[in-house]
Amino acid sequence: MDYSNRVNSKKGAGGIASAEDQNVHSKKRVQELLATHILDIDNDPYVFRNHLGILECRLCLTTHNNESSYISHLGGRKHHLNLERRRILDEKSRQQQDFQRKVQDQVSISNVETRHWKKIGRPEYKILKIRDPETLQLGVLVTIKCPEISVDEPFFRLMSYYELSSKNQNMGRKFIQERSEDEEDDEDPSDWQYLVISAEPYENITIIVPNTHEIDKPQEEGKMSETYWWFWDNDTKEFFLQFMYKKSD
C-alpha cells in the first residue's frame, strides 16, 4: 500500500490510511489475484464450499469468505508447508505399498493356494524289506498302483516328526503307541521317519520307517543313485521307490 504524499505525513513516513483507501487497495489486490490465478474448485482437491457458501481448505483447516481470500492463502507460507508435509507422507505411503506388493509377489506358504480335490480312497500299495546281496545293505521297496491318477506322476517326501501337521503328528503317535503296546516297548514318535506319497485324486499315504540308520542317498536334492531311486511306469500306472540304509560301522 502506498503511504507517500498523504495529508499530515512526514517525509519518509506514511500517513494513516482511511477506510476509503483500504477499500481501494483491497479491490485492486483482488483484481490482481483474480487476473493471475484462476480458481477451479472442482479440480482442487483441498478446497470445497460448505453449506454457508464459505470456502474451506481441507489441508490447512482454514475458512475463506471469497475466492480472493483463498487465492491469497494458496500463496502463503502455511499452505506451502502443509503441501510439502503431504508430499512427504504420500511418498512414504507409496514406498510402503511398493514394499508390500513385492512381498506379496514372492512365493511363500502364506500366499500359496491350498490344493483341493475329491478324494477317491487310498491307492493299492505294497512294502517290502530288501537286502542287497553284495553289500548286505538293508532297505525298503515301495510299490504303488494308481490307475486313476490325475497328475503326471506321484511325488513323495521323507519328513521328520516335527515337519508333520498337528493332526498327522497325533495319528503317527497313536499308530506308534499301538505298535508299542504289541511289542511291550515305549517308543518316541520323533525316532521315526515318515514317507509321505501323494497321487491325486487318491488320499496321501504315509509309511513310517525306522530312523535308527541313515538312508544312503545322494547329497543333491532330487538326484538318484543305485541305492536310492524311484520310477513311474506310465503304462501300468505303477510307482516304485527304493532306498537303502548305510552300512553300520
* DSSP track, 54-72: -EEETTTTEEESSHHHHHH
Q: What pLDDT score does 186 carry?
A: 60
What pTM was computed for the model?
Answer: 0.49
**How far, in Å, are 157, 159, 198, 205, 244 from residue 123 at the CA level?**
17, 20, 10, 8, 24
CA distance 101 to 94: 10
Q: What pLDDT score does 183 carry?
A: 53
For the chain, which ranges sit under pLDDT 70? 1-17, 26-27, 29-40, 105-113, 115, 117, 179-186, 248-249
Q: What pLDDT score does 91 carry?
A: 93
Q: What pLDDT score does 1 carry?
A: 52
CB 38 within 8 A of CB 74: no
Domains of the chain: 37-105 (no CATH), 124-244 (2.60.40)
Q: What pLDDT score does 60 carry?
A: 92
**How far, in Å, are 26, 68, 69, 74, 116 from residue 1 at the CA level?**
9, 17, 17, 21, 80
Q: What pLDDT score does 20 carry?
A: 75
CA distance 177 to 173: 6
3-state secondary structure of 243: strand
Q: What pLDDT score does 86 carry?
A: 92
Longest CA–CA span in the chain (Å) reads 127
CA distance 65 to 70: 8
Q: What pLDDT score does 193 carry?
A: 83
What's the mean per-residue pLDDT of the chain? 79
